[in-house]
Structure formats: C-alpha cells, structure tokens
Amino acid sequence: MTRQIGEAILDLKNVSLSFGGVKALTDISFDIREHEIRAIIGPNGAGKSSMLNVINGVYRPQQGEIVLRGERFSRMNPYKAAKAGISRTFQNIALFKGMSVLDNIMTGRSLKIGSNLLQQAFWWGPARREELAHRAKVEEVIDFLEIQHIRKTPVGRLPYGLQKRVDLGRALAMEPSILLLDEPMAGMNVEEKQDMCRFILDVNDQFGTTIVLIEHDMAVVMDISDRVVVLDYGKKIGDGAPEEVRANPDVISAYLGAGH
C-alpha cells in the first residue's frame, strides 16, 4: 500500500512578481498534486522563497493566478490561505522565543478557536472545553515529533535543530492539507537532517499532507521528493521527477556552473 498521489490541488499559472525594477519571478507555471512532496530548488536569489510567499499570499503577483482546488485567486492573502488549509514554516524560525514549546504549538490552533475573549479570560464554558480539545491535538503533535521532554521549555533555550522541529509542530497543529516548508534543514547537522526527513515523510505518509519544500541540500531533495521544480533568476528552468531534473543540462549548469 502506498499513498495515492491525486489530481492537482494547487495550480500556479503564469505568475510574475517584481519589486520595482527587480524581477523576482517571471512567468512561472507549475502545479502541485494532492499528497505529493513537491520540492522547489534553485541557487541563492532564484526566487524560491518569493514563490512560497506568493502561494500563501504574503506577496501579490502582478500577473498570473493561483487555482486552489478549482477556485481561482488572483489575490491570495495569508488569512485566506490559512483558512484554506495551507500552513508554513519559515527559513528564520518564526516562534515566540520566550514562550514554551507547548504554547508556541498552541498558537498554531488559533484559527480554529471559536470562543471569544471574555470566555477565554475566565476559562469558562465553551472556552474550557475547547481548550481541552485543542490541547489534546497539540499533545498529539508533540508525541508525533517526539518532543515530550521539552514541552515546558521556553523555545529560546532550545538548540536550533529542535527549534526547527517546534516550528514544524506549530505548522502541523493547524492540521493543514498543504504544508509549505521553507528550508526545513538549513543549518542542521547530519543527524538532525535525518530526523527531519523522517518527520516530513511521516507527515506525508500518515496524514496524507501535501508538502511543498524549499531545500538547498540536493541529496535530501532527490531522496524524498516526488517532483522537483527548478528556478534560476526567477525563471523556471526544469520541472519533473528527481532523475529527470538531475539529468537536465540547464539545471546542471545553473547549479554547477558552465563546463560541467
């Protein structure tokens, strides 16, 4: 039994993004299929993070459109994206350093919390029931990521590799259908990378979450992704299964320089 990769869940059509005179993305189109692990790779400044920011609505492209589950968005915004089940992690970890791991992951549930401020302040009635249910979900995430021992530790005191794992936990607490990971393995040692790979594969496998991943480590990308899209200077220069991309002469020259 393997997971079934489905139809395209997210389709990007002719997306162009520029900041003043700088063209960050030029006419980029690719799709993301349900339940797959889709990697976006490219040298520094290729536009990878911009691409991710377009997907979850932080940047608005000047041209092109995003089709999410058949619905067209010419203007996505982060709130809409989150409501639609897209969650993400950040290249430079976006966590509250002074708050505990538990509380940080709890923030990932905030969209799903319905009780009002007053109820929450007195921890009364629905607020109480709701918090218990959310806490149970968060505990499942903690168990899944094997971070029980740091549940109550302030995030700022944790080593980098664990902070990244907590960041993933925060994103997972949303129970996303699409998970955007911005360089989840940057700055990690080999062992931490192995752990992170396993968690990414497990998320994909257990919850069927579609994963879009930006990563520098080619070995990791080739190992875990189903399809890879390659950007260079804001243009798409390759798209396909890892083997195809690896054999693509444009990709080779972009990554290794001419003459190889």
Partner 1 sequence: MAELLHGAVPETFPRWLLRHALARGGQPAMREKDLGIWQSWTWQQVSDEVRALACGLSELGFKRGDNLAIVGDNRPRMYMMMTAVQCLGGVPLPLYQDAVADELLFVLLDADVRFLFVEDQEQVDKVLEILPQIPDLRRLFYDNPRGMRHYTQPFIHDVRELLAMGRLHDANHPDLLDGEIALGAGDDVSVMLYTSGTTGRPKGVRLTHRAFISAALGGADFDRLTADEEILSYLPMAWVGDHLFSFAQALVTGFTINCPESAETVMSDMREIGPTYYFAPPRVFENLLTQVMIRMEDASAIKQQMFHLFMAVARRCGAEILDGRPVPLGDRLLYALGKVLVYGPLKNVLGMSRIRVAYTAGAAIGPDLFRFYRSIGINLKQLYGQTETCAYVCLQPDGQIRFDSVGKPAPGVEVKIADNGEILVKGPMLLQEYYKRPDATAEAINAEGYFMTGDAGLFDDDGHLKIIDRAKDVGKLANGAMYAPNYIENKLKFFQYIKEAVVFGAGRERVCAFINIDLGAVGNWAERRGIAYSGYTDLAAKAEVYALIQGCLEQVNRELVAEGALADSQIHRFLILHKELDPDDDELTRTRKVRRNFVAEKYAVLIDALYSDKRSQFIETTVKFEDGRQGKVSADLAIQEAKTFAEGGKATR
Residues at the contact surface with partner 1, assessed by CB under 8 A: 1-2, 135-136, 139-140, 142-144, 146, 148-149, 151-152, 202, 205-206
Q: Which strand ranges, in their side-by-side order, compose the sheet holding 71-73?
A: 22-33, 8-19, 63-68, 71-73
Based on CB atoms, which residue is closest to partner 1, 202 or 243? 202
At its nearest, how many Å lie between partner 1 and the CB of residue 260? 30
Q: Look at strands 37-41 and 227-232 and give their pairing.
A: parallel
Based on CB atoms, which residue is closest to partner 1, 2 or 92? 2
Residue in 93, 250, 248, 114 with CA at minimum distance from that of residue 184: 93
At its nearest, how many Å lie between partner 1 and the CB of residue 144? 8
At its nearest, how many Å lie between partner 1 and the CB of residue 143? 6
Q: Given 3-state DSSP classes, what are the helix, strand and coil percentages for the chain, each rounded to the nearest 5?
A: 40, 25, 35
At its nearest, how many Å lie between partner 1 and the CB of residue 37? 16
Residue 2 CB partners (closer than 8 Å, separation 6+): none
Based on CB atoms, which residue is closest to partner 1, 146 or 243? 146
Residue in 150, 215, 152, 149 with CA at minimum distance from that of residue 188: 215
Based on CB atoms, which residue is closest to partner 1, 60 or 149? 149
